Every structure is written in C-alpha cells, then in structure tokens.
C-alpha cells in the first residue's frame, strides 16, 4: 500500500488562486483525465435520531496510476450502525462497463463543474441501482446482495445569506500545483439540513478552504430492506452527503461529523497529516454551526494551529484548535467494538482496506472566544458553546488505524 505520495493529497501550503471556467455543481461528476491516478467517489450518511439508527452509502471508481498494479477499481458499500457492535457492511465491486455517470439530460460531463451551480447528476450501477441528485431533491435506490437501501430527500436552501447560488463561501478557494484532491460535502436534516462543501483537503482529508450549504428543511425518508428475511427498517432523518475526487486519500486522517436536532447544532471536521516531500505536515479543517443562535465558526490550516491526542485502539480522539480569536476543545469517543468493520478507500492503484468507522460516537465541543490579548496567550476567554452530541460519525484512516485493526485481515474490497 503506497501512502507516501505528496501528489496524492490535498494541501494548502503555497496558496494559489484556483480559477476554473466550467459549469455545474462541484458535487456533480468530473471529467476523468487521460492518465491516473484519479478517483471520484460519493459518500452519504443518514442518521435517524428518533430510532437511534444510522446508515451509509458509498460508491465510486478509480483510474489507477499503473494498470499492472490495479486492484479493485470500483466500489459500492451499504453500511449501517449495529448498536455497540461493529457496523454492518455489504459491499460489491461493480463492473466498470455497468457504471454510468451522467449529468443533466442524461449526458456524460464534458466540462468540470463549479460550486456556484445547482447539482444535477445520476450515478448508476446497472445491477445495483441509482443515486440521483437534482437542484430540488436527492433520491437513491441501491441493492447489494440481499440488502436494498432507499431514500428520498428534499431541495437545498442556502447555508448563509449572500451565498453563491445554493452555496455560501468562507474565505477563498485555493489549490496548489500539483492538483491533489478535493471534497464536496452536503447534508440533509429533519429541520435545517446542513452540509459542507470543500475544495482542497476537506473534512475527509485536511487542508482545505470550505464552501458550505444547507439542504432541505423537510424530513427525508428511507427504507433499509432485507430481501431474504423481509425485515424492513424505515423512518426519517438527515443525510450528510459528500463527494471526494483527486489522486488519492491522504496517508492518515480522522474524520467526524454530527448533528443534534434538539440543540440544532452541526459540525464536521478532519485532522491528520499530508506529506510534503519527506516532511509530514499537520493538516486540519473544522466547522461548527449553532442554527438556533446563529453562531458559526470555521478553522483552516492557514488561520489556526492544532494539537491532537489520537487513541484509535481506545476509540478516542482529543483535539485543540487555536486561532487568533478562538480556542476550541474537542473530544470524541466510541466503544472500541463499534470499529470492528473495515471499509475501503481510494489509493493510487484502486480501493484498498484502509478505514474503520463508528456511527455511534459521542462528541464534546467547547468554543471559547478570546476577549483580551492575555486570553490568547493563556487560552482563556468567554465560553460561547459547550455541547455534547451523540450518534456522531468518527473515522480513523490510513496510518491512524489501530495496530490491531480489522483491515489487517481483509484482503479485497467488494
């Protein structure tokens, strides 16, 4: 497994303005290059807080760096939480010729998309089903083996006033050469549906400048059907949607996101490192929203520093973020038994077993504002937010996996 790839992660060291004259949302499909490595994949996580359930769907494909080293080039996985036990994962590797990725009017993309336009695309695997996104809806119906996962969610609304189309931008959008990896994230809630869209290193891999939008004020509905036993799990909830594309996932990362419908707060973040030549460089992205009070804050590698204590074998991660105006303390924890399933992620030669994840983590978040100069020096000030969220997603990837992890015994993906 090759994790030592400066040109396979997103990084934000020498900032250069990223300008493209293209159409379509960044959530839409991109044009594949003539040569790899390149991958494009989508991830959606649905949380039904009323029934204490969470589900996921992830799918994508890889153009490998070297065809002779090519492993699994496609991936489709349906996952769901399983209480205090390891999540249930049902995966397959569809044939490339059975996958169709089209934009509006059913045509393949001819230009790369941009963030300011509404989404309109469909990803189809002919034996399995479809994932369809328009400006007004997200609908999917996917079957893997004897499990069918269906969902319907509503139209997007702006994350904040003055957004670019359905997206509001925080800061500027940057990229550096060589272009490495990008992420678009979007989520749907039962009240205010939230999402984060990022270019560069995003919640799933650090170093990025986020673009954020909110989606659908109405509940989304779902059904998880076991076609053999006829068991049906159904309900409503919110859907976190994310797209990743570029050369590869980074060498190591943690990723997390969550929403509390009672407190009406939402967050997403990633913390890890990227390789810049022989040097590992700390990287991070974190965004927090309190929709009830209107408080919002975001942190990027160009305006913040972090300290982290990761204990993947114990299912915990503690992170402190320091910026000029704020201090943030984060603590995430989940029972070790919930990380017992290995998932696959894209690397330069295909999908490989590199991820463990829990859907039932707990997050403690404290945001403090520096009022005086001494507050900044001594990390003190006024506490603005102090919340605990449950049913949170927490993911360890790459070199951040516990030494004793289920990916060691998993040989293939799909």
What is the tens place of the pLDDT at every residue in 45-62? 998 989 999 999 999 999
- Overall size of the chain counted in residues: 414
Decide if 64 contacts 58 (C-beta within 8 A): no
pLDDT above 70 covers a percentage of the chain that reads 78
Q: Which residues contact 191 (CB under 8 A, 6 or more apart)?
A: 217, 261, 264, 291
Residue 414 domain-assigned? no
Q: Rank 89-98, 170-179, 182-191 by mean pLDDT and report only the highest.
A: 89-98
Residue 1 domain-assigned? no
Residue 110 domain-assigned? yes
Residue 314 domain-assigned? yes
| Count of other CB atoms within 10 angstroms of residue 239 | 28
Q: How much is the pTM?
A: 0.83
Decide if 103 contacts 121 (C-beta within 8 A): yes
The structure tokens 């989404």 sit at 119
Residue 174 domain-assigned? yes
Number of domains in the chain: 1
* Token pair listed for 192: 């205010």
Helix (H) or strand (E) holding 377: helix 373-378
Nearest to 220 by CA among 187, 179, 198, 178: 187
Q: For residues 315 and 283, which has the higher predicted lDDT (pLDDT)?
A: 315
The domain in which residue 156 lies consists of: 6-409
* Token pair listed for 404: 């004793």
Nearest to 133 by CA among 28, 235, 213: 28
Residue 157 domain-assigned? yes
What is the tens place of the pLDDT at every residue in 365-391? 999 999 887 777 777 889 999 999 999
Decide if 89 contacts 77 (C-beta within 8 A): yes
| Count of other CB atoms within 10 angstroms of residue 255 | 26
| pLDDT band for position 9 (cuts 50, 70, 90) | very low
SS3 220: strand
């Amino acid at each position: 497994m090759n994790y030592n790839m400066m040109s396979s992660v997103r990084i934000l060291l020498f900032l250069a303005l990223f300008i493209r004259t293209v159409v379509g949302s960044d959530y839409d499909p991109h044009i594949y290059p003539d040569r790899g490595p390149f991958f494009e994949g989508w991830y959606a996580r649905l949380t039904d807080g009323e029934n204490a359930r969470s589900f996921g769907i992830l799918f994508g494909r890889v153009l490998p760096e070297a065809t002779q080293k090519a492993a699994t080039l496609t991936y489709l996985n349906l996952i769901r939480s399983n209480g205090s036990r390891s999540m249930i994962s049902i995966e397959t590797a569809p044939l490339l010729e059975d996958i169709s990725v089209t934009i509006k009017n059913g045509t393949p993309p001819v230009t790369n998309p941009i963030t300011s336009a509404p989404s309109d695309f469909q990803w189809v695997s002919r034996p399995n089903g479809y994932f369809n996104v328009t400006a007004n809806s997200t609908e999917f119906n996917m079957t893997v083996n004897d499990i069918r996962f269906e969902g319907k969610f509503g139209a997007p609304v702006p994350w904040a006033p003055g957004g670019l189309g359905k997206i509001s931008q925080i800061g500027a959008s940057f990229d550096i050469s060589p272009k490495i990896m990008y992420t678009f994230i979007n989520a749907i809630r039962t009240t205010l549906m939230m999402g984060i869209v990022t270019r560069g290193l995003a919640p799933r891999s650090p170093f990025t400048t986020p673009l954020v939008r909110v989606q659908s004020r109405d509940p989304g509905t779902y059904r998880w059907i076991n076609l053999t036993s006829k068991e049906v799990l159904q309900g409503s909830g919110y859907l976190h949607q994310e797209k990743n594309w570029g050369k590869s996932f980074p060498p190591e990362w943690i990723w997390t996101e969550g929403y509390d419908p009672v407190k009406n707060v939402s967050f997403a973040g990633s913390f890890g490192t990227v390789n810049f030549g022989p040097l590992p460089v700390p990287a991070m992205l974190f965004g927090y929203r309190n929709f009830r009070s209107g408080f919002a804050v975001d942190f990027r590698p160009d305006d913040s520093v972090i300290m982290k204590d990761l204990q993947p074998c114990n299912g915990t991660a503690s992170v402190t973020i320091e910026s000029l105006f704020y201090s943030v303390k984060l603590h995430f924890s989940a029972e070790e038994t919930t990380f017992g399933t290995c998932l696959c992620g894209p690397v330069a030669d295909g999908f490989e077993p590199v991820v463990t994840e829990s859907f039932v983590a707990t997050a403690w978040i404290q945001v403090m504002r520096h009022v005086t100069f001494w507050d900044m020096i001594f990390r003190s000030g006024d506490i603005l937010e102090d919340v605990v969220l449950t049913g949170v997603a927490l993911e360890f990837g790459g070199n951040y996996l516990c030494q004793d992890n289920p990916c060691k015994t998993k040989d293939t993906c799909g």
